[in-house]
Copies of this chain bind each other. A is one copy, B any other.
């Protein structure tokens, strides 16, 4: 049966065309090297080298086998190296899910930090709502997920990746646009663009909770899922909205963002979740990168 040592021996002899030199390169003596070559030729049932007591030459078959042998040896070395890198969490592929809103500001920062710290790691990104991410995570189709609370599934572990403020989105020509900062009470009876209760459940519940807690009842005109759609309606002057601070990165002309005075300054949370007990070392690396990420 074919063996790496045969390939190493053949490769050395074929390169040196001299058994003695090849043997010393392989840290062995000439006799066992001669035998290794004989065994290889017997295994392949092919004469690879024409040798007399004065010269060693490759046969046509040997010439064709040499690059293959070298390639296989090289592949084995790189495979070993890559595997060590993967085990150290320094190489490999991490399939990461994320919510649409996290792509506005947080995800690019995370990806940039990963590229810098782990240049040989490939992040495979997929946008999904939190519910689908949990499903895909449990099914093993993604390895980590940027999700909204709650993150209490028994088979998942999660750490908070981000807590960000909620800001008011106001049409540029609206009276409130002139104010430095707003309070929830400013929204009383104002036309309001809200989140859809199912498709954008987290922000819907968050905003509804904040308003209810403050006893404020805006005039809800529309319920939408996507933040950029909400901002488009705000720009059109249809009403005000409450959006995560990261939405400012969308740079919507005609919409101004104003800080919102809240008891809890950063109520919008994002978590990194993964399968409990997942031994992929990339998870640990990712959590470490996350912890070192400057707060945005």
Contacts and interface: CB of A to CB of B under 8 A. Distances in A.
Most B C-beta atoms less than 10 A away, residue of A4, A5, A91: A4
Interface in A29-67: 43-48, 50, 59-61, 64-65
A284 to B, nearest CB: 11
Given A3-B3, A60-B279, A281-B60, A65 B83 contact: yes
User: How many copies are assembled?
Assistant: 2
Q: Chain A interface mostly helix, strand, loop or mixed?
A: helix
A75 interface: yes
Contacts of A75: 68, 71-72, 75
A12 to B, nearest CB: 14
B79 A65 contact: yes
A231 B210 CA distance: 97
B61 A87 contact: yes
Contacts of A59: 87, 279-280
Given A75-B71, A82-B64, A279-B50, A3 B4 contact: yes
A282 B282 CA distance: 52
